[in-house]
Amino acid sequence: MNPNEFDEFHEIVLRLGVAALLGAILGVDRDLHQKPAGVRVLAMVALGAALATLASITAIAKVDAALPDAVLRTVQGILSGIGFLGAGVIMQRTDQNEVHGITTAASIWVSAVVGITSGLGQWLVTATAFGLAMLILIGGRGVEQRLMKWSRPESDQSSP
């Protein structure tokens, strides 16, 4: 393996590894709250998205550099496919007029995009999106609870 191939291999490992790691960390929040898609699912989603993106980039480089829209088609395909996976975790309880799984579905979708940006080597975008996703998942729960408590009428707040 020559030095260029070695550097390329390390870049591929880095891109795939970062995608899987960040997807897994996003999944920790879902696992901690006993949700259907956790560490393994979100790590696999991010890894798969990064892999598809890398495969698209590699194919363009080897076949024809004049086809950059192939990467965009790959990204579009990933996001369309992930929509079906996310839809599978959303459940409606008609007896209580509640919907569950929307945050998990959104986490799956964001995990895929983190994988795409990681696959593209867009590290600043990847890190920023990951940080914001974690902030939303962890901090958003407390904000939601405070808003729910604030919005309930006084008579509802006294009951456990």
18 pLDDT above the threshold of 80: yes
pLDDT value at residue 4: 81
Its sign, for the CA torsion 48, 13, 23, 111, is negative
CA gap 93, 42 in Å, rounded = 24
Structure tokens at 48: 């798969």
Structure tokens at 25: 């960390």
Q: Over pLDDT 70: what percentage of the chain?
A: 87
Residue written as token pair 């194919």: 59
pLDDT in tens, 116-145: 888 888 888 899 989 989 988 888 878 777
At 3, the pLDDT band (50, 70, 90 cuts) reads confident
Q: CB-based contacts of 10: which residues, under 8 Å, 6+ apart? A: none
What is the phi/psi pair of residue 71, to 5°? -65, -45
**Helix residue spans in 33-68 (DSSP H):** 39-63
CA gap 69, 7 in Å, rounded = 26
Q: What region, left, alpha or beta, does residue 159 occupy, with left being phi > 0 and alpha being psi -120 to 50 degrees? A: beta
pTM listed for this prediction: 0.67
pLDDT in tens, 33-52: 887 778 888 888 898 888 88
| Coil, helix or strand at residue 19 | helix
